[in-house]
Amino acid sequence: MSELVFAKQFLTALDSRPIKLSSDHIADPRSYPASNAYTLPRLPSNHPSKPRRKSPTSATSGLTITLKPLKASHPTISLPSQPLSTSVYDLKAAYAAQTSTDVAKIKVLYKKKPAPDSKTLSDFAGDGGEAGLEFGVMVMGALGGTPVGSPAVEIPQPVMGEEKEVGAVAQGPSGAEELKTEEFWGDLKGFLVQRLRDEGEGERWAKAFRGVWEKEG
Protein backbone atom coordinates (compact mmCIF):
# COMPACT_ATOMS: atom_id res chain seq x y z
CA MET A 1 0.00 0.00 0.00
CA SER A 2 1.39 3.33 -1.03
CA GLU A 3 1.60 6.30 1.28
CA LEU A 4 -1.00 8.21 -0.72
CA VAL A 5 -3.56 5.42 -0.50
CA PHE A 6 -2.91 5.06 3.24
CA ALA A 7 -3.40 8.80 3.80
CA LYS A 8 -6.72 8.79 1.91
CA GLN A 9 -8.03 5.83 3.89
CA PHE A 10 -6.92 7.42 7.17
CA LEU A 11 -8.67 10.71 6.38
CA THR A 12 -11.81 8.84 5.32
CA ALA A 13 -11.82 7.01 8.68
CA LEU A 14 -11.44 10.33 10.53
CA ASP A 15 -14.42 11.85 8.75
CA SER A 16 -16.74 9.29 10.35
CA ARG A 17 -15.62 10.21 13.86
CA PRO A 18 -17.07 13.16 15.89
CA ILE A 19 -14.95 16.29 15.92
CA LYS A 20 -13.31 17.04 19.28
CA LEU A 21 -11.64 20.33 20.08
CA SER A 22 -8.75 20.64 22.49
CA SER A 23 -8.99 22.86 25.59
CA ASP A 24 -6.59 25.36 24.02
CA HIS A 25 -8.40 25.52 20.68
CA ILE A 26 -8.62 29.03 19.22
CA ALA A 27 -11.09 30.04 16.52
CA ASP A 28 -11.27 33.27 14.60
CA PRO A 29 -14.53 35.05 15.57
CA ARG A 30 -14.67 36.57 12.09
CA SER A 31 -15.42 33.12 10.77
CA TYR A 32 -18.65 32.87 12.80
CA PRO A 33 -21.91 33.24 10.88
CA ALA A 34 -23.59 36.63 11.30
CA SER A 35 -26.64 36.72 13.62
CA ASN A 36 -28.91 39.36 15.10
CA ALA A 37 -28.38 40.42 18.72
CA TYR A 38 -30.88 38.95 21.16
CA THR A 39 -32.80 41.42 23.30
CA LEU A 40 -35.09 40.68 26.23
CA PRO A 41 -38.78 41.41 25.75
CA ARG A 42 -40.12 44.61 27.30
CA LEU A 43 -42.01 44.35 30.59
CA PRO A 44 -45.76 44.88 30.52
CA SER A 45 -46.99 48.35 31.45
CA ASN A 46 -48.73 47.05 34.61
CA HIS A 47 -45.52 45.52 35.99
CA PRO A 48 -44.68 47.04 39.43
CA SER A 49 -41.61 49.23 39.37
CA LYS A 50 -38.68 48.64 41.70
CA PRO A 51 -39.09 50.71 44.89
CA ARG A 52 -36.55 53.46 45.26
CA ARG A 53 -34.49 53.45 48.40
CA LYS A 54 -34.51 56.74 50.22
CA SER A 55 -31.13 58.32 50.50
CA PRO A 56 -29.87 59.06 54.01
CA THR A 57 -29.80 62.77 53.18
CA SER A 58 -33.47 63.02 52.31
CA ALA A 59 -34.57 60.60 55.03
CA THR A 60 -32.73 62.17 57.92
CA SER A 61 -32.48 65.84 57.01
CA GLY A 62 -33.61 68.17 59.74
CA LEU A 63 -33.00 65.85 62.70
CA THR A 64 -34.24 66.79 66.15
CA ILE A 65 -31.40 66.29 68.62
CA THR A 66 -32.01 65.73 72.33
CA LEU A 67 -29.09 66.34 74.70
CA LYS A 68 -29.86 64.56 77.96
CA PRO A 69 -27.33 64.89 80.81
CA LEU A 70 -26.44 61.96 83.03
CA LYS A 71 -27.26 63.96 86.15
CA ALA A 72 -30.83 65.10 86.74
CA SER A 73 -29.54 68.40 88.16
CA HIS A 74 -28.42 69.45 84.69
CA PRO A 75 -31.07 70.54 82.15
CA THR A 76 -32.07 68.58 79.05
CA ILE A 77 -32.19 70.63 75.85
CA SER A 78 -33.62 69.95 72.39
CA LEU A 79 -32.10 71.15 69.11
CA PRO A 80 -34.64 70.97 66.24
CA SER A 81 -33.85 70.78 62.50
CA GLN A 82 -30.15 69.96 62.73
CA PRO A 83 -28.44 69.15 59.37
CA LEU A 84 -26.45 65.95 58.95
CA SER A 85 -23.25 68.00 58.73
CA THR A 86 -23.61 69.05 62.39
CA SER A 87 -20.60 67.77 64.34
CA VAL A 88 -20.49 66.45 67.88
CA TYR A 89 -18.45 69.50 68.80
CA ASP A 90 -21.28 71.71 67.49
CA LEU A 91 -23.66 69.88 69.85
CA LYS A 92 -21.28 70.50 72.76
CA ALA A 93 -21.04 74.18 71.86
CA ALA A 94 -24.84 74.48 71.64
CA TYR A 95 -25.30 72.83 75.04
CA ALA A 96 -22.60 75.04 76.55
CA ALA A 97 -24.22 78.19 75.15
CA GLN A 98 -27.70 77.33 76.47
CA THR A 99 -26.52 76.23 79.91
CA SER A 100 -23.62 78.67 80.51
CA THR A 101 -21.17 75.80 80.83
CA ASP A 102 -17.54 75.68 79.71
CA VAL A 103 -17.50 73.66 76.49
CA ALA A 104 -14.23 72.00 77.55
CA LYS A 105 -16.04 70.38 80.50
CA ILE A 106 -18.73 68.74 78.32
CA LYS A 107 -18.48 65.20 76.95
CA VAL A 108 -21.12 63.87 74.53
CA LEU A 109 -22.11 60.19 74.63
CA TYR A 110 -24.03 58.09 72.11
CA LYS A 111 -25.49 54.83 73.38
CA LYS A 112 -23.39 55.24 76.55
CA LYS A 113 -20.14 55.47 74.55
CA PRO A 114 -18.03 58.65 74.05
CA ALA A 115 -18.68 60.34 70.70
CA PRO A 116 -15.58 61.97 69.12
CA ASP A 117 -15.87 65.69 68.36
CA SER A 118 -15.02 65.10 64.69
CA LYS A 119 -18.04 62.83 64.11
CA THR A 120 -21.14 64.28 62.42
CA LEU A 121 -24.83 63.36 62.65
CA SER A 122 -24.53 61.46 59.39
CA ASP A 123 -22.30 58.96 61.23
CA PHE A 124 -25.09 58.18 63.71
CA ALA A 125 -28.20 58.43 61.49
CA GLY A 126 -29.24 54.95 60.32
CA ASP A 127 -30.88 53.85 57.08
CA GLY A 128 -34.27 53.73 58.77
CA GLY A 129 -34.82 57.47 58.41
CA GLU A 130 -34.98 58.36 62.11
CA ALA A 131 -36.65 61.68 62.85
CA GLY A 132 -34.40 62.38 65.84
CA LEU A 133 -31.40 61.26 67.86
CA GLU A 134 -30.68 61.35 71.57
CA PHE A 135 -27.22 61.95 72.99
CA GLY A 136 -26.04 61.76 76.56
CA VAL A 137 -24.16 64.66 78.14
CA MET A 138 -21.57 64.39 80.89
CA VAL A 139 -20.37 67.58 82.57
CA MET A 140 -16.94 67.12 84.09
CA GLY A 141 -15.47 68.90 87.15
CA ALA A 142 -16.42 72.57 87.16
CA LEU A 143 -13.14 74.15 88.26
CA GLY A 144 -12.82 77.69 86.97
CA GLY A 145 -16.55 78.19 86.57
CA THR A 146 -19.92 77.63 88.18
CA PRO A 147 -21.42 74.19 87.33
CA VAL A 148 -24.87 74.05 85.81
CA GLY A 149 -27.58 73.85 88.44
CA SER A 150 -25.29 74.88 91.32
CA PRO A 151 -26.06 78.08 93.25
CA ALA A 152 -23.60 80.93 93.02
CA VAL A 153 -21.20 81.09 95.96
CA GLU A 154 -21.18 84.43 97.74
CA ILE A 155 -17.76 85.62 98.86
CA PRO A 156 -17.95 87.39 102.24
CA GLN A 157 -16.78 90.99 102.14
CA PRO A 158 -14.66 92.52 104.89
CA VAL A 159 -16.59 94.59 107.41
CA MET A 160 -15.26 97.82 108.82
CA GLY A 161 -13.90 97.35 112.29
CA GLU A 162 -13.11 93.67 111.73
CA GLU A 163 -9.58 92.56 111.04
CA LYS A 164 -9.45 90.39 107.93
CA GLU A 165 -6.29 88.89 106.56
CA VAL A 166 -5.76 89.79 102.90
CA GLY A 167 -6.31 86.76 100.69
CA ALA A 168 -8.20 84.82 103.39
CA VAL A 169 -11.09 84.29 100.95
CA ALA A 170 -9.02 82.05 98.66
CA GLN A 171 -9.56 78.40 99.49
CA GLY A 172 -8.47 75.08 98.03
CA PRO A 173 -5.13 73.94 96.58
CA SER A 174 -3.05 76.25 94.42
CA GLY A 175 0.28 76.22 92.63
CA ALA A 176 2.06 72.87 92.68
CA GLU A 177 -0.66 71.42 94.95
CA GLU A 178 -3.20 71.95 92.16
CA LEU A 179 -1.20 69.61 89.92
CA LYS A 180 -1.83 66.78 92.39
CA THR A 181 -5.62 66.89 91.88
CA GLU A 182 -7.51 64.72 89.40
CA GLU A 183 -9.74 67.70 88.55
CA PHE A 184 -6.79 69.59 87.08
CA TRP A 185 -5.82 66.74 84.75
CA GLY A 186 -9.46 66.20 83.80
CA ASP A 187 -9.76 69.88 82.87
CA LEU A 188 -6.51 69.71 80.89
CA LYS A 189 -7.72 66.68 78.96
CA GLY A 190 -11.04 68.38 78.21
CA PHE A 191 -9.25 71.48 76.93
CA LEU A 192 -6.94 69.44 74.67
CA VAL A 193 -9.82 67.39 73.23
CA GLN A 194 -11.80 70.58 72.52
CA ARG A 195 -8.80 72.40 71.05
CA LEU A 196 -7.54 69.49 68.92
CA ARG A 197 -11.07 68.25 68.11
CA ASP A 198 -9.78 64.69 68.46
CA GLU A 199 -10.60 62.46 71.44
CA GLY A 200 -7.60 60.17 71.06
CA GLU A 201 -5.04 62.94 70.54
CA GLY A 202 -6.37 64.95 73.47
CA GLU A 203 -6.14 61.97 75.83
CA ARG A 204 -2.67 61.05 74.52
CA TRP A 205 -1.21 64.51 75.10
CA ALA A 206 -2.86 64.83 78.51
CA LYS A 207 -1.15 61.60 79.57
CA ALA A 208 2.12 62.84 78.09
CA PHE A 209 2.00 66.10 80.07
CA ARG A 210 1.15 64.22 83.26
CA GLY A 211 3.95 61.75 82.67
CA VAL A 212 6.48 64.58 82.32
CA TRP A 213 5.20 66.24 85.51
CA GLU A 214 5.34 62.99 87.49
CA LYS A 215 8.87 62.34 86.22
CA GLU A 216 10.04 65.85 87.16
CA GLY A 217 8.34 65.60 90.54
Q: Is residue 73 part of a domain?
A: yes
Q: What is the mean pLDDT of residues 113-138?
A: 81
6: left (phi over 0), alpha (psi -120 to 50) or beta: alpha
Last residue within a domain, chosen from 141, 162, 188: 141
38 falls within a domain:
no
The pLDDT value given to residue 90? 93
CATH of the domain at 79: 3.10.20.90
Per-residue pLDDT band for 78 (boundaries 50, 70, 90) equals very high
pLDDT attached to residue 2: 82
- Per the domain annotation, does 64 fall within a domain? yes
Residue 59 has pLDDT above 80, yes or no: no
pLDDT attached to residue 137: 93
Where among 126, 141, 156 does a domain terminate? 141
Whether residues 137 and 182 fall in one domain: no
Mean pLDDT of 5-19: 79
Residue 30 covered by a domain: no
- Note whether 202 and 133 are same-domain residues: no
Is there a single domain that holds both residue 132 and residue 65? yes
Considering the domain architecture, whether residues 130 and 63 belong to the same structural domain is answered as: yes
Classify residue 164: in a domain, yes or no: no
* Residue 70 confidence (pLDDT) above 50: yes
* Domain endpoint, select from 141, 169, 192: 141
Q: Within this chain, do residues 188 and 133 fall inside the same structural domain, yes or no? A: no
Q: Which domain holds residue 213?
A: 178-217
- Polymer length in residues for the chain: 217
Judge whether residue 162 has pLDDT over 60.
no
Assess if residue 13 is contained within a domain: no
**Residue 168: pLDDT over 50:** no
Same domain, 77 and 122: yes
Asked if residue 91 has pLDDT above 80, the reply is yes
- Mean pLDDT, all residues of the chain: 76
**Which of 39-43, 50-54, 64-68, 123-127 shows the highest mean pLDDT?**
64-68
- What pLDDT does residue 94 have? 92
Does residue 19 fall inside a structural domain? no
129 and 193 both lie in a single domain? no
Q: Is residue 169 included in any domain, yes or no?
A: no
Domains in the chain: how many in total?
Answer: 2
Query: What pLDDT shows up at residue 51?
Result: 66
**Which CATH number fits the domain that encloses residue 205?**
1.10.286.70
